[in-house]
Amino acid sequence: MPAKVPSTKRTKESTRAKAARSSDSNLPLRNDIRLLGDLLGDTLKRLGGKKLFDVEERVRALCKQLREQQRRSMPVAATERQLKQLLHGLSTADAISVIRAFSVYFQLVNIAEQHHRIRRKRYYELHTPDQPQRGSIANTLQQIKAAYPDSGTAAFRRRLQSVLDQMDLVPVITAHPTEAARRTLLEKHQRVARLLTELDDPTIPDRRRSGVSRHLAAEVESIWLTDEARHSNLQVLDEVNNALYYFDTTLFDAVPNLLEELDLQLQLNFPGVSLREDNRPPLRFGSWVGGDRDGNPNVTPEVTWKTLCRHQRLTLRKYLQSIAALSRRMSESERFAPPNRALLASIERDRRAMPDTAAEIFRRNPEEPWRQKLSFMYRRLEQTLARNTALLGTSDAPGALGRVTPRELIPIRPSTGLINTTPYSGYSRSDEIEADLRLVRDSLSASKAELAASHVNRLLRQVRVFGLHLAALDLRQHSARHVAALGEITRGLGERPDYAHMDEAARFSWLIEELQNPRPLVAADASYSPATTETLNVFRVARRAVDQISRQAIGSFVISMAQSASDILAVLVLARQAGLDVSSGLHIPVAPLFETVDDLRNAPDVLHELLRNRVYRAIVATQGDVQEIMIGYSDSSKDGGILTSSWELYQAQEKLWEVARAHGVALQLFHGRGGTVGRGGGPSHEAIRAQPTGTVASRIKITEQGEVVSSKYSLPDIAMRSLELSTAAVIAASLPSQQTKAHVASERTAIWMGAMAELSDLALEAYRQVVRHTDGFLAYFEQATPVEEFQYLRIGSRPVRRKSGSKSLDDLRAIPWVFGWTQSRHLLPGWLGVGSALESFVKSAPVSLKHGPGGRSKGRQQLELLQEMYQHWPFFQSTIANIEMTLAKADFQIARQYALRLPDRDVGQRIFGILEAEFNRTCKLVLQITGEKQLLNSSPVLQRSIAVRNPYVDPMSYLQVELLARSRQPKLSAAEKKQLRYALTLTINGIAAGMRNTG
């Protein structure tokens, strides 16, 4: 970072105003990075000393020199030797300080970049209203208007209205451990962003500007003095609180902003089309945090219950704050704005039900009916919060949830679940809150106080989205756990063979019969093993949640590694034991998760087997004829490579929809995407629009994982922008005729899909040849990445492997697989197998077809076909663009350093050589397809961002290599191990911050 001591003169209005007006749109960003770098440099010299500052600057200079030498194809050996000698000579304590300097720098750069995104968004809104920002709702609706010749007709408006009426966009927050930032640091980052916003204001006086600069310097100092590493293991409820942080600080307010913008743009572009209040909102939220128990023994039934109660508690507190704020401003007097009869009648009912409360309200606000009604609402919300506190407390009551022994089943509570069942003891359903808010809003509107009514409508939108549950908690478990539980239960009933030993046909038949059998399968006094008891208790907690918290509190039950129809039916039978079935009206949808390549290929047959059965088809009918299916990007990519995974996912979606339509059913596809390309990552807007035609159909669920959550939702304006991009993409993707002419042409589509199928087969073979059949490959992964050190990170509650102590690649979770390769700068999951597949495809012509029409070689024709696919097929374009981004972020000069430090250097060099050749091959073929001379030439902003970041990520990579070598030496003392693990944790955090989409 720059060495100059910062001066407040650097932030004077004239400098920043000039930057804002400059034709160089990135000049303000560079100014912000320079300012924050100067502040950090000053902090380092004051608090770390000149020695630290000088070492950091020397390391930075050498890394920049290395990059420049590489760019010019100059020898790098001498410079690299100097850098390694310098780092090798550092004590571990000094290395920690250097790592922290670069890591904090990246925290500040990331804040500056996010702030610049907000700045650009506001620039478009203020200065180019007729040319709205790409991907915005305004931009998308304008594109739709221009693309459809009949966009001005009533028929088209009806079609668009239907898309909105059915729209169901569900971002699902997950707790996968690739976000290293602590909550205390996220709060500091928010304050830095707010201060940068203040400095953007050209009207603030110099004195105030100087004060803001001092506050900014104080925040940078505080970030430097805050330990970014955790020193205690992260618990599941800590992860729950981290997820709730985003709802509390950004999402609660982003939702009404989004819905207001959508309604406004619809009115401007398609008059008569609107968000109808009698339909569900187009957006809702889900969560896996506290409900995802696949391979995580820390997610117990008790934890799930506490999670659900905390969801509701935050929601109620937000509503109380909003009602209080509304009440303070609702001073309208009945003398000047007479209330309607409905409001007066409601207030009278409240008065009779809560006489003590009414006396105080009428004394304080005698002629202000809207304040009166809001005060009654406030009191009922207080009572609802008190009930929530009591429900949370039941987990610690004797004989209740918190004291459940391994052999105890949680009792099912009465269906009311209320402490005080009188109608006015609180709100038991969110539609009661909605009804009260509508009374207030409509009465204000009737009195022509439309502006006041709009404030109430904002809260009404929030209640309609968040209800009394905040986010629907999905429950997830591995299919094998259900097989084991039913096996034990049926053995106890004397079934021979027991469920676990039945074949698929017998299981299916038995389960269908059981779903129709009125008698319970599990007796009230039954005693089972701890594992089976916990499996049953998960469903009993879900039953308590829909009884006592909200009917919307539980989302779907997701089945990991679903491979057959019986896996879905098994969950329905187990849920039925807790009263969660169609007959009770408390049915929970079951979503099979198809993860591996084979499972994705088999998924359409599984769905057909289910839907052709009248019993299951009747269950789907109670779900509005909608079946949710989750498709996994992470494990399919780890299993078959990025190209094969992308294609199998694409095909599975098309074939699943074919089956669903044949049975008169719609699908809600749940995309299990991560932050990196190797786990389905990449820009959400492009990903949604690149889905197969007709497969979005207004409905989509998408996981938001790891560092993606903070990058999308940590700042209010960024959260709004992220939701807007996804919303606009769903609308566009749900109008299937909005495709390029080339894509619509069925003969070209068939050729493209045939080419893609061939590419997928070639890529699968190439990928598995390396990953599955290359001697020493798994050992290379374990030693040439810090994957074994992840267990010391304390950034997640989930184990690295599904089975403790296993060394199998199949048992390694996809997250550490991707995270490890990213840390070592290989980024292998985003490109391995692609280059070989593309090269083989281009060269695959038989001798007889060596030359085509006009003398063009068959290879040239094949390449031109790939180029055509890239130009005209959104799926292929998105796939290649994501691979290109991964290639640009990978760095084999850095990756070589990890390979050189392997204990068996021959193995390291051999496997590194295989990987480097494939990497170079992939770069070459991708550039031929895109027609670019360099990677990311068509994305100059991203290209520049990577180029600017690399010299600052490189020092942490070189230090990580050095520290890995030290930590793997024998005979280290306990103190040395502890210090080295801490240092490695800092490098992992720092590289994650520098690389951005890392997990």
Residues annotated as catalytic are 176, 638
Report the alpha-carbon distance of residue 149 to residue 153 in Å, rounded: 9
CA distances to 112, 551, 579, 627, 681 from 586, rounded to whole Å, are: 48, 8, 7, 16, 35
> Are the C-beta atoms of 534 and 567 separated by less than 8 Å?
no
Report the alpha-carbon distance of residue 835 to residue 865 in Å, rounded: 16
> Are the C-beta atoms of 532 and 485 separated by less than 8 Å?
yes
Distance of CA 416 to the CA centre of its chain: 34
> Are the C-beta atoms of 107 and 223 separated by less than 8 Å?
yes
User: How many Cβ atoms from other residues are within 10 Å of residue 402's Cβ?
Assistant: 15
> Are the C-beta atoms of 306 and 395 separated by less than 8 Å?
yes
Report the alpha-carbon distance of residue 653 to residue 880 in Å, rounded: 19
> Are the C-beta atoms of 634 and 814 separated by less than 8 Å?
yes
Alpha carbon dihedral 553, 555, 557, 561, in 10-degree steps, equals -140
- The two tokens of residue 113 are 């970049």
> Are the C-beta atoms of 283 and 259 separated by less than 8 Å?
yes
Report the alpha-carbon distance of residue 355 to residue 367 in Å, rounded: 18
> Are the C-beta atoms of 63 and 83 separated by less than 8 Å?
yes
Return the residue matching tokens 């998308």.
140
DSSP 393-453: HGGGSTTSGGG--TTPPPPPPPSS--SS-STTSS-SSHHHHHHHHHHHHHHHHHTT-HHHH
Q: Roughly what angle, to the nearest 10 degrees, separates helices 183-200 and 236-246?
A: 20
Phi, psi at 98, each rounded to 5°: -65, -45
CA distances to 514, 534, 608, 875, 984 from 612, rounded to whole Å, are: 18, 32, 6, 31, 54
User: How many Cβ atoms from other residues are within 10 Å of residue 755's Cβ?
Assistant: 18
Q: Where are the beta strands (DSSP E) in 547-619?
A: 554-560, 590-594
> Are the C-beta atoms of 781 and 770 separated by less than 8 Å?
no
DSSP 648-686: HHHHHHHHHHHHHHHTT-EEEEEEE--SSGGGT-S-HHH
Say whether 390 sits in a helix, a strand or coil.
helix
Q: Where are the beta strands (DSSP E) in 874-960?
A: none
Report the alpha-carbon distance of residue 33 to residue 826 in Å, rounded: 28
Report the alpha-carbon distance of residue 999 to residue 992 in Å, rounded: 9
Give the contacts of 363 (CB within 8 A, at least 6 positions apart).
none
Report the alpha-carbon distance of residue 285 to residue 470 in Å, rounded: 7
Give the contacts of 10 (CB within 8 A, at least 6 positions apart).
31, 34, 35, 38
Q: Which of 180, 102, 98 is nearest to 789 (CA)?
A: 180
Q: Which of 979, 726, 671, 711 is nearest to 118 (CA)?
A: 711
- The two tokens of residue 563 are 């491979």
Could you report how far apart the first and last alpha carbons of the chain are, in Å? 26
What sign does the dihedral 528-531-534-538 (CA atoms) show? Answer: negative
> Are the C-beta atoms of 560 and 294 separated by less than 8 Å?
yes
Q: Roughly what angle, to the nearest 10 degrees, separates helices 137-147 and 716-733?
A: 20
Report the alpha-carbon distance of residue 594 to residue 656 in Å, rounded: 11
